[in-house]
Structure 1
Amino acid sequence: MIAARRAAGQSPLTRAAASIAGSSPASTQLSALRFKAPSTSATLHLSRACAQTIPRLPHNAGLRSIALFHSSAARLEETVPVPQMAESITEGTLKQWTKKKGDFVSQDEEVAVIETDKIDVTVNAPQSGTITETLANEEDTVTVGQDLFKLEPGDAPAKGSSGGKEESKDEGKDEGKEREEADQKKQKQEQEQQQKEQQQQKEQQESDKKSKEEQGSKKKDQEQAKKKDEGKKPSGGDGVKSTSGPSAPVDPAPATRGSRDERRVKMNRMRMRIAERLKQSQNTAASLTTFNEIDMSAIMAFRSKHKDRILKEQGVKLGFMGAFARASALALKEIPAANASIEGEGLGDTIVYRDYVDLSVAVSTEKGLVTPVVRSVEEMGILDIEREIAALGKKARDNKLTLEDMAGGTFTISNGGVFGSLFGTPILNLPGSAILGMHAINEKPWVVDGQVVIRPIMVVALTYDHRLLDGREAVTFLVRLKQYLEDPALMAL
């Protein structure tokens, strides 16, 4: 009767917990009750009740299930997908996991890097937590929306915390075993590589030794032959000259052969995209290049006079790109076709003329050539252009350019002169209709007022789409560019 009254006064969850003590294995009962609990708090209450009710269960018979049951209710694992990268990009290559399984990450912290055909995209943690599983390997192709990794939200674990050790004991053993096997595999590979290198070194030493022995044998034979010839020569004391011919020439030592190894490296997505676009440009546009020469004396004098003051006062390093960009923007006002593009179905049936100049500046990076865009150059002065180009160049070298930084260029400048190029024919950066190529400055004889003098000269090249521009317009553009740069004061008028 007393037991019945006590049972009647207990909650359903407490009665359920009490019934477990004398029945089948705890893990089976808990598994059944786990899905019947009406809320998280009830589930936690039930697990505590069970822990108090069955303190004498055999080791590992049910406590591990209870511990896992207790913790699983409080943790809501989140699966993080490959993020939307851009409207035109649907997939990429997973280049690097910057975090690994078991690492804690803060909100917005970088977890992985995905390489696309235009830029590298970083994948950040949507919230703070611990990475419980990675769902793709490095160098795998991943698509937008694909599951990438799993994250268990939560705060950073306290240093020296012992909580959860019992819960993850078996899991830790499995992970430790996996790490041990991976270490053994890596160690075996290193040993094999070391043995291979030692064998190659031994073979090379034997080859060198054999080569030296052959050279020594030849030298010895030659010395013996020389002594034999000298013994046959008549004495020169009586004035009679020797009639014997010269001794046989010494054979040169065989040259050491260089390595003939080959390496095959898969093209990254950016290089593949560059190759595709350049070939598309050649196949689409009717490309033609015209040249001119510019006396750089005036613009070099302007730079030398003001560069130190500008760097000190405004922190801007004055180069030549700002002047060329400003001069190009002014010349494009007169020749708008050089700032236009062809759009429409097929090869295009509409010409789009623009009243603004968004300048694409070619920047060389370790991964390839990128063309970040300086917006509305026609409204900017030389210093503003230099400041913006410097900022975009740094972003490019730090691999931090966004798709917005590279979209929508209407005219392009490429400066091969920084690498020593004398002149060349740049390839059009579609859909733009023209690209200006700058080259190295070299001193040349130059006629000034009927006198031959030495002047610093740069060859400039304009590649243009002959479907849009006629030769007259292309030549006129370069003539105007030359006038502005040889008399910089015109750019201020």
Structure 2
Amino acid sequence: MLGVLRQKVRSEALILSRLFLTRGYRHAQSFSNHILPGGPVVPRPMREGVQFLQKDSPYRVWSRSFASDNGELFDAVVPFMGESITDGTLATFLKKPGDRVEVDETIAQVETDKVTIDVASPEAGIIEKFVAKEGDTVTPGTKVAVISKSDASTTLAPSEEKPKDVPKSSPPTEKEVAEKKAPKAEAPIKEKPKAPSPAPPKSQVTEPQLPPKDRERRVPMTRLRKRVATRLKDSQNTYAMLTTFNEVDMTNLMKLRSDYKDAFLEKHGVKLGLMSGFVKGVVSALQDLPVVNAVIDGEDIIYREYIDISIAVGTPKGLVVPVIRNANNMNFADIEKQIHTLAKKANDGTLSIDEMAGGSFTISNGGVYGSLLSTPIINPPQSAILGMHSIVSRPMVVGGNIVARPMMYLSVTYDHRLIDGREAVLFLRRIKDVVEDPRRLLLDI
């Protein structure tokens, strides 16, 4: 009797254990709907619910692979580009999707008619994606990229599927082997009758052979280059341009720089160049002949009571013309400091719109590139432009003797509708006198 009772207890315990295992499997199966492929991806807190599983359990592997953090997303947009600029061209991306960026780090650059604008990251994080493409026309506020503050990346579990069995090809039969080894009978070749040789063709006029297209490279114009091309062509179509020339002896100005360059650098922190001497000469000439500083507006003439000198600077991206404001109130040191600051910004591409707006007269120094002589084009809406050229040692007659002198050709292109030849010649002559003898500026003669 006791043995029968023990056997019944063991049977009931076995049934209960099987029932528990079955329910545990169904619970795991229900749980897999949330974490196995095909189910929705859940946030990290779900990982805590699978801690009871073994480390090598496939459920833990899928849960870890599909968990992700939905970090905050921020938009990098095109900033305000200036009062007179409404749009620009997205020139280049400096980063790639997946790169990490810091706050205010430049992501892309936008080219406008005048300057290059940087698009900065609003927050530190990872670049999720680019919304715009290079070459797109963008306006202030246009979304360019999406930045995520989350550093976590969602990874997928490797596929565990085994490659399907590829059916093996059966070995060739003896008949097929014999057919491959047997030589194929060649069809007899019939000799074709020889055709009579054609008569030599008559000489014909052919079109010239052009270079193949693969030896050419087509590149779209930048916004800055388009703007420069349009303004210069408009200037040529509007103004009655005429150029007059003169030459200047650079001996005294070069000696002045040589004698005081060290003391000038020590006191003012910038080098004494030749450009400041020409700026002072232009200011003096504009004060003597104010019509050169004027401009035609419809049927009126506008006489400017200020002197803002534009300096043409060639950069890798194109020609820019920053402005020295109120040059008539500056001395040599002030002019050199301003030229140094503007030239550095021009080469770095950091000039602002305000630093290039306006200007009543332009100086273009082609001599730094070796130009001997040129006829520069007027920079609208101005009425004249001075061209400086290279310094060349030439034989000159001084006091009845032939001596070598450092000489430079000067040119001034002017709007003949407003400025007569007399004013243009006297203007250039005044610059020559001041550069050849800077002491005139001290004596105001």
Same fold (TM over 0.5): yes
Corresponding residue number in structure 2 for 1:376? 326
CA distance 1:22–1:303, shift in 2 (3 Å): closer
Corresponding residue number in structure 2 for 1:119? 115
Corresponding residue number in structure 2 for 1:133? 129
Whether the 8 Å contact between 2:97 and 2:129 is mirrored in structure 1 is: yes
CA distance 1:124–1:49, shift in 2 (3 Å): closer
Structure 1 position 288, deviation (Å):
1.2
The one-letter amino acid paired with 2:140 is: V
Q: Deviations over 1:212-268 (max 9, x none)?
A: xxxxxxxxxxxxxxxxxxxxxxxxxxxxxxxxxxxxxxxxxxxxxxxx943333322
Partner Cα separation in structure 2 for residue 127 and residue 24 of structure 1: 37
- 1:23-422 equivalence runs, <5 A: 25-26=33-34, 48=45, 52=49, 59=59, 63=63, 67-68=67-68, 71-72=69-70, 75-153=71-149, 164=152, 168-170=154-156, 261-343=215-297, 348-422=298-372
Structure 1 position 389, deviation (Å):
0.9
Structure 1 position 150, deviation (Å):
0.6
**Secondary structure of residue in 2 paired with 1:439:** strand
CA distance 1:55–1:148, shift in 2 (3 Å): farther
Structure 1 position 60, deviation (Å):
8.9
| Residue 486 in structure 1 maps to residue 440 in structure 2 | no
Partner Cα separation in structure 2 for residue 315 and residue 466 of structure 1: 42
| 2:394 aligns with one of 444, 453, 467 | 444
The one-letter amino acid paired with 2:219 is: V
Partner Cα separation in structure 2 for residue 55 and residue 434 of structure 1: 86
Partner Cα separation in structure 1 for residue 32 and residue 392 of structure 2: 93
Whether the 8 Å contact between 1:114 and 1:121 is mirrored in structure 2 is: yes
Q: What 5-or-longer segments of structure 1 have no aligned partner? A: 1-20, 35-42, 158-163, 175-259
Partner Cα separation in structure 2 for residue 61 and residue 422 of structure 1: 76
Q: What 5-or-longer segments of structure 2 have no aligned partner? A: 1-28, 160-213
Identity of aligned residues (%): 47
Corresponding residue number in structure 1 for 2:407? 457
Q: TM-score, normalised by structure 2?
A: 0.71
Structure 1 position 80, deviation (Å):
2.3
Q: Deviations over 1:128-151 (max 9, x none)?
A: 222211112333433333221111
Q: Deviations over 1:21-59 (max 9, x none)?
A: 9799558xxx99x9xxxxxxxx99xx8489549978984
**Secondary structure of residue in 2 paired with 1:169:** coil
Aligned-residue CA RMSD in angstroms? 3.5
Partner Cα separation in structure 1 for residue 32 and residue 155 of structure 2: 25
Partner Cα separation in structure 2 for residue 459 and residue 474 of structure 1: 15
CA distance 1:304–1:50, shift in 2 (3 Å): closer
Partner Cα separation in structure 2 for residue 132 and residue 295 of structure 1: 62
Structure 1 position 312, deviation (Å):
3.9
The one-letter amino acid paired with 1:433 is: S
Structure 1 position 279, deviation (Å):
0.6
Structure 1 position 115, deviation (Å):
2.1
**Secondary structure of residue in 1 paired with 2:291:** helix
Q: Deviations over 1:64-83 (max 9, x none)?
A: 89944xx33xx331222222
Partner Cα separation in structure 2 for residue 334 and residue 317 of structure 1: 29
**Structure whose CA Rg is larger:** 2
**Secondary structure of residue in 1 paired with 2:355:** helix
Whether the 8 Å contact between 1:25 and 1:61 is mirrored in structure 2 is: no
Whether the 8 Å contact between 2:75 and 2:122 is mirrored in structure 1 is: no
**Secondary structure of residue in 1 paired with 2:259:** helix
Partner Cα separation in structure 2 for residue 173 and residue 467 of structure 1: 79
**Secondary structure of residue in 2 paired with 1:322:** helix
Q: TM-score, normalised by structure 1?
A: 0.64
Partner Cα separation in structure 2 for residue 63 and residue 277 of structure 1: 63
Corresponding residue number in structure 1 for 2:199? none
Q: Deviations over 1:180-232 (max 9, x none)?
A: xxxxxxxxxxxxxxxxxxxxxxxxxxxxxxxxxxxxxxxxxxxxxxxxxxxxx
Structure 1 position 295, deviation (Å):
2.0
The one-letter amino acid paired with 2:106 is: E
Partner Cα separation in structure 2 for residue 396 and residue 448 of structure 1: 41
Partner Cα separation in structure 2 for residue 366 and residue 63 of structure 1: 54
Partner Cα separation in structure 2 for residue 128 and residue 384 of structure 1: 41
Deviates more, 1:303-312 or 1:274-283: 303-312
Give the structure with the higher percent helix.
1
Partner Cα separation in structure 1 for residue 113 and residue 404 of structure 2: 46
Partner Cα separation in structure 2 for residue 64 and residue 454 of structure 1: 85
